[in-house]
């Protein structure tokens, strides 16, 4: 009898605490598991919401979490401290620092504060040895400069989440040993430039994610995204690398385990 169990895959970045999913977590996770999603990392973007995000991870074996201050929220939130992030990282299901980063598309006026916040998160990543989770939009030059300078000052691991920046930032990140994460953006018809960047990257440095509830991949584009749909992005990823889906799922899962080592224990 043919095994119809889907290959196991990981959604490395989602936002299960967002109101889009209120009252639906059990069904949401059941649908994800039916699609082969064995684990997911839900991301806290404002530290005052960390208790709710932690509770989701505690309630579900397959859910892990990370926390930080999103760059678009830096101006509205108290500045995080290294000590605060290091303390949070003691929880057994806390697996990453962030998301943090730079966003000059909507919030360029807070660029200086964003850079200060980013440096705090980098130091927390160094001290905890947990991966830094980077959001970058319209800030390629500053992002490449800061990450390169800071990595030389003291190494840390990192994933460029939902990567859709330019090729130069992609190369800079890969040169530092970082990872690029593929989201639903890579499935959009007009995203050939993004697919080309991924195709030129080492396969052992690729992750997949939903960033749900945002950025639903084809054929769900325009609707609410959810962790189960990471399989649709991975199907496109397999095509980009010219391998079958099972191999791509296995490789990106191995990559996830290497980077998010606490979620692999």
132 in a domain, yes or no? yes
* Contact between residue 96 and residue 128 where contact means Cβ atoms under 8 Å apart: no
195 in a domain, yes or no? yes
Q: How confident is the model at residue 184 (pLDDT cuts 50, 70, 90)?
A: very high
pLDDT for 98 equals: 96
Q: What does the pLDDT look like over 119-131, one tens digit per residue?
A: 999 999 999 999 9
Percent of residues, the chain, with pLDDT higher than 70: 98
Q: How confident is the model at residue 1 (pLDDT cuts 50, 70, 90)?
A: low
Checking if the pLDDT of 3 tops 80, the result is no
Nearest Cα neighbor of 75 from 101, 110, 45, 103 is 110
Strand partners, 208: 182
Average pLDDT over residues 57-62: 97
Which domain range does residue 250 map to? 9-264
Q: What does the pLDDT look like over 152-182, one tens digit per residue?
A: 999 999 999 999 999 999 999 999 999 999 9
1 in a domain, yes or no? no
4 in a domain, yes or no? no
Locate 121 and state its tokens.
């998160």
Q: H-helix or E-strand containing 38?
A: strand 37-44
| Non-local CB neighbours of 133 within 8 Å, separated by 6+ positions | 13, 43, 66, 68, 96, 97, 98, 99, 100, 158, 159, 161
Q: How confident is the model at residue 11 (pLDDT cuts 50, 70, 90)?
A: very high
2 in a domain, yes or no? no
* Contact between residue 136 and residue 143 where contact means Cβ atoms under 8 Å apart: yes
Average pLDDT over residues 69-89: 97
Q: How confident is the model at residue 80 (pLDDT cuts 50, 70, 90)?
A: very high
Q: What does the pLDDT look like over 93-121, one tens digit per residue?
A: 999 999 999 999 999 999 999 999 999 99
Number of H helices, E strands in the chain: 9, 8
Q: How confident is the model at residue 5 (pLDDT cuts 50, 70, 90)?
A: confident
Q: CA–CA separation, 216 vs 117, rounded Å?
A: 29
Burial class (CB in 10 A: 0-12, 13-18, 19+), 182: buried
Give me the CATH number covering residue 209. Answer: 3.20.20.140
188 in a domain, yes or no? yes
Q: How many domains does the chain have?
A: 1
DSSP 203-245: GGGEEE---TTS-PPTTSTTS---GGGHHHHHHHHHHHHTS-H
> Helix, strand, or coil here: 184?
helix
Nearest Cα neighbor of 163 from 123, 142, 193 is 193
Q: CA–CA separation, 231 vs 11, rounded Å?
A: 9
Q: CA–CA separation, 262 vs 259, rounded Å?
A: 9
20 in a domain, yes or no? yes
């Amino acid at each position: 009898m043919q095994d119809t169990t889907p290959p196991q895959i990981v959604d490395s970045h989602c936002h299960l605490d967002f109101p889009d999913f209120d009252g639906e977590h059990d069904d949401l996770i059941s649908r994800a598991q039916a699609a082969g999603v064995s684990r997911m990392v839900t991301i806290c973007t404002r530290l005052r919401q960390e208790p709710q995000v932690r509770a989701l991870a505690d309630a579900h074996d397959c859910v892990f979490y990370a926390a930080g201050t999103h760059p678009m929220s830096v101006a509205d939130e108290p500045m995080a401290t290294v000590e605060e992030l290091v303390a949070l990282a003691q929880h057994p299901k806390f697996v990453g620092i962030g998301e943090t980063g730079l966003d000059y598309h909507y919030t360029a006026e807070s660029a200086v504060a964003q850079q200060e916040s980013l440096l705090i998160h980098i130091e927390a990543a160094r001290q905890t040895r947990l991966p830094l989770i980077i959001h970058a939009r319209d800030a390629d030059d500053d992002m490449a400069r800061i990450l390169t300078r800071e990595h030389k000052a003291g190494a840390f691991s990192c994933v460029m989440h939902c990567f859709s920046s330019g090729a130069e930032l992609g190369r800079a990140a890969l040169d530092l040993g970082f990872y690029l994460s593929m989201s639903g953006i890579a499935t959009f018809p007009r995203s050939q430039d993004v697919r080309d960047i991924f195709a030129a990257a080492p396969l052992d440095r690729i992750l997949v994610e939903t960033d749900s509830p945002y950025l639903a991949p084809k054929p769900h584009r325009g609707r609410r995204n959810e962790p189960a749909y990471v399989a649709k992005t991975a199907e496109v990823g397999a095509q980009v690398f010219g391998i079958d889906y099972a191999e791509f799922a296995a490789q990106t899962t191995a990559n996830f385990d290497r980077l998010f080592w606490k979620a692999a224990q």
